[in-house]
Amino acid sequence: MWSLACYFIWNMWGLNGYARQNVVQEFLVQERPTLVCILETKLSVICNALANEILGTTFAYDFLSAMNVSGGILLG
């Protein structure tokens, strides 16, 4: 049986505020994608607690740090 893969790519322009993190979290709960790529997080560090808060505990994740005030990628 085949399952339909759903992916989510978003240029966020910053995940450093709780409001934006909550929007992403609510969207992921609703849509349940299998792959998530968030661009322009503007975060230099993403710890396990923050990744789990944003993506939920069902995703393994990796990230690329922002440089100064630009960039950053979170992949789940």
Q: How confident is the model at residue 24 (pLDDT cuts 50, 70, 90)?
A: confident
pLDDT at position 75 is 92
Percent with pLDDT over 70 in the chain: 93
Which helix or strand (DSSP H or E) is residue 18 part of? Answer: helix 18-31
pLDDT at position 63 is 94
Q: Which of 61, 58, 18 is closest to 38 using CA atoms?
A: 61
Q: Are 38 and 74 in contact (CB under 8 A)?
A: yes
pLDDT at position 2 is 54
What is the pTM (predicted TM-score) of this model? 0.83
Q: How confident is the model at residue 4 (pLDDT cuts 50, 70, 90)?
A: low
Domain boundaries, the chain: 7-75
